[in-house]
Structure 1
């Protein structure tokens, strides 16, 4: 495939179908830095052999790598090109397009049908590789189980940079389970799956929020087993032809189990969709400053109310089952709705101690997903 033109450097090239190029770039694209003062970090590394294209991206804290099979006639090369630009080109090609990528004099020409693009490149030798690690734990877990557990808790991670150790999901082995937890100090989410073989030696690790987001996207596109490797400073996930490796957060996650109530004075059972619809309606009058919704709970009904000086009041009553004495309590409505969005049962339940104590929400007793929310003063 190599061609030589008089007075010019050798042209090296390869061909790939548009869907394979698009899928490969999508798998590493979310890792690549979108805004950076280091141009190389905005690029994707393309390592080409006769039979494979390896696409790599990094932000120096995480590394993504995707293998794509080629037809065996490609010219070996290593180049980096702007990831976002190449991805946009790939996205606009049709599924039937055959794409030719040719490197000449430091320029990458991308041709498909009657379209032709010429892109600048940067040297591949300076591209940062993922560091080698001695892994303490290695195990396999179904992609659907890992993705569901991460998705269940990720919404509760903190965005407060001063509490950086809350900016990710804690993954650890405990009581014969693999547990996932996230909290921002106002709400807590915990998920539990069966402990995979080999996971008992897993060190407690905090997976950064960005990595969790990328990971859940990858897992959503994959069916099968995921290989997980971890040590105290890093974690790696092998998802089919894609590998994601990342530094973990260097910090100590709080003992979140202490926040989860184990005793209660009242048990509430309520239809989840009915509660969500009612909260959405009464908060129509909420403002950005006032997000509290008040719940006045009695034996067979919950009276929901919202009051805003700017927009007025909203009230609604819905049926429920309540085992305790009458109770009035307030919640941040957005937090309450986010918790409801990650529950699945038709009828959910919550346990209460007092108007100021943490409230536990779950689909049912013994549910693998548990949510805790702190009340607001109303």
Structure 2
């Protein structure tokens, strides 16, 4: 029975879209390593899940014949399709309903893959979504891009392993923190909501959103229930559980009295950090900043007593400050910002530093100092 007959690219696109969540963590059920492929007429639905996240998409690539559903190993199917010749016609078929295999063919090449019963694939219950809003794809991508790197990873404070999503009226805010740094970004929605939204989106869901959401003005719909979030655009639907718990009060963390301020070109500072990182302690990854006399001096040392020192000219009229930071925390924010210049505001030798874009209050990044 022929299931799919299409150009390689038309088959590869939906498989790549859903397979990102498969194999990212240890699976307790073998079928969670598979993609569910369901053909109804010419429409073919592709579904993958790890029980916390589910991604669905579809394509009109079904072959003539009876409706059918099969599950195939996601990693093997994606690898095989990627290795096929570009622009070629590909078919996927099942020899018979009782045969536990499918055949992927291109020209004179044939690949036989094992399947698992489609009726064993987990069926996600439909959530009751009570709130929703629309936002352009490039806007939500921009928000995620500027905060995703500050999420915690496997922290026992589980509410830090994700991103706070908050909507009040027509203002959308996203916030992340791992306890050592905090990233905040806000934007405006086209329409104000009558009810506020506040939820914590899991880290892996945020990363899948960044992987899949296009950098275009296409409209995206985000729906929220008590325990789930659903993001829909084009022919893709991403559903995920939410993180339970209360996110920390980020307003208490963002400094308001940091008056020692300087502005520097982003690429100039990135270059200096890249150079000093070479001789930084491989474990601690710390650098020392010294601010005085219109200069920023960046220094690093390692256990072999090697040293790096980079002096940058800046306009600075504040007090003399010596303070240490984690190199990776600085590089993360500079690599994800797109502004030509970046503003830094400090209070003293010990307080948190505030990173912003000049004349732009929509983004804030707070990084705690470290001993160097």
Instruction: Name the TM-score, length of structure 2 as normaliser.
Output: 0.94
The residue number in structure 1 matching 2:158 is: 164
The whole-number CA distance in structure 2 between the counterparts of 1:213 and 1:16 is 30
Q: Following superposition, which runs of at least 4 residues in structure 1 exceed 6 angstroms of deviation? A: none
1:123 aligns with 2:139: no
The residue number in structure 2 matching 1:141 is: 135
Residues 175-194 of structure 1: matches in 2 within 5 Å? 176-194=170-188
Cα distance per residue 1:148-186 (max 9 Å; x no partner): 111110000001431211111111014741001111011
The whole-number CA distance in structure 1 between the counterparts of 2:73 and 2:210 is 24
Residue 346 of structure 1 and its aligned partner are, at CA, apart by 2.2
Is 200-209 or 248-257 further displaced after alignment? 200-209
The whole-number CA distance in structure 1 between the counterparts of 2:277 and 2:334 is 15
The residue number in structure 1 matching 2:300 is: 306
* Secondary structure of 2:4's aligned partner: strand
The residue number in structure 1 matching 2:361 is: 367
The whole-number CA distance in structure 2 between the counterparts of 1:202 and 1:54 is 34
* Secondary structure of 2:360's aligned partner: coil
When residues 202 and 12 of structure 1 are mapped into structure 2, their CA distance, relative to the original with a 3 A threshold, is farther
Match of 1:87 among 50, 64, 78: 78
The residue number in structure 1 matching 2:221 is: 227
When residues 288 and 137 of structure 1 are mapped into structure 2, their CA distance, relative to the original with a 3 A threshold, is same
1:14 aligns with 2:4: yes
Q: Is the Cα contact below 8 Å between 1:32 and 1:43 reproduced in 2? A: yes
Residues 306-345 of structure 1: matches in 2 within 5 Å? 306-345=300-339
* Secondary structure of 1:60's aligned partner: coil
Residue 221 of structure 1 and its aligned partner are, at CA, apart by 6.4
The whole-number CA distance in structure 1 between the counterparts of 2:217 and 2:65 is 29
Consecutive unaligned residues in structure 2, runs of 5 or more = none
The whole-number CA distance in structure 1 between the counterparts of 2:292 and 2:339 is 22
1:52 aligns with 2:46: no
* Secondary structure of 1:314's aligned partner: strand
Match of 2:92 among 87, 93, 101: 101
The whole-number CA distance in structure 2 between the counterparts of 1:28 and 1:74 is 25
Alignment size in residue pairs = 368
Residues 283-294 of structure 1: matches in 2 within 5 Å? 283-294=277-288
* Secondary structure of 1:65's aligned partner: strand
RMSD after superposition: 1.8
